[in-house]
C-alpha cells in the first residue's frame, strides 16, 4: 500500500472516530465536551476536504466530504435543541447521512484495496 493511500486512510479513520465520539456524546455528555468534539470534527472534515485523495476514489471523496458536511450541520441542529419538529428532521438527516457515509467509505475501502 502506498504512502498516499495510507495517509488518506488515516484521515478517514480519524474522521470516523470523531463521528462515533460525537454520536456517543449526544444527550449524555456535557454541552462543553460535545462542542469541543464538534470543533475537532470540523477541523478533521476541513483537513479531509483539502487533501488530495488517490485518483481512484476522487468522486467518492467528493461525495464523502459533502455528506460529512451535511451530517455535521444536522448534528449541530440537534444540539441546539430547537423545536421538536426541527429536532426530528435533523435526527432523520443525521441518520440518513450516517448510512450514506458508511456506504461511501465502504466503496472507497473496496477501491483502495484493489490499488
Give 16-56 pLDDT, tens digit per residue.
887 887 777 766 656 777 777 778 878 878 888 888 899 99
Q: How far apart are CA 36 and CA 109, in angstroms?
A: 29
Count of domains in the chain? 1
Structural domain boundaries enclosing 39: 3-114
CATH number of the domain encompassing residue 91: 1.20.120
Q: What is the pLDDT of residue 27?
A: 64
> What pLDDT, on the 0 to 100 scale, is given for residue 97?
93
Q: What is the pLDDT of residues 68-110, one digit of tens each?
A: 999 889 888 877 767 888 888 988 998 999 999 999 999 999 9
The pLDDT value given to residue 108: 93
Distance CA 17, CA 91 (A): 19
The answer to whether 97 and 74 have CB atoms below 8 angstroms apart is yes
Amino acid at each position: 500500500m502506498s504512502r498516499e493511500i495510507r495517509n488518506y486512510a488515516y484521515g478517514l479513520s480519524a474522521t470516523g472516530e470523531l463521528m462515533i465520539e460525537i454520536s456517543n456524546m449526544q444527550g449524555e455528555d456535557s454541552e462543553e465536551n460535545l462542542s469541543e468534539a464538534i470543533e475537532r470534527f470540523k477541523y478533521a472534515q476541513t483537513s479531509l476536504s483539502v487533501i488530495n485523495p488517490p485518483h481512484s476514489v476522487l468522486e467518492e471523496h467528493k461525495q464523502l466530504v459533502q455528506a460529512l458536511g451535511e451530517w455535521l450541520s444536522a448534528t449541530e441542529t440537534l444540539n441546539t435543541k430547537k423545536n421538536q419538529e426541527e429536532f426530528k428532521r435533523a435526527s432523520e438527516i443525521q441518520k440518513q447521512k450516517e448510512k450514506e457515509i458508511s456506504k461511501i467509505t465502504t466503496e472507497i475501502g473496496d477501491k483502495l484495496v484493489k490499488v
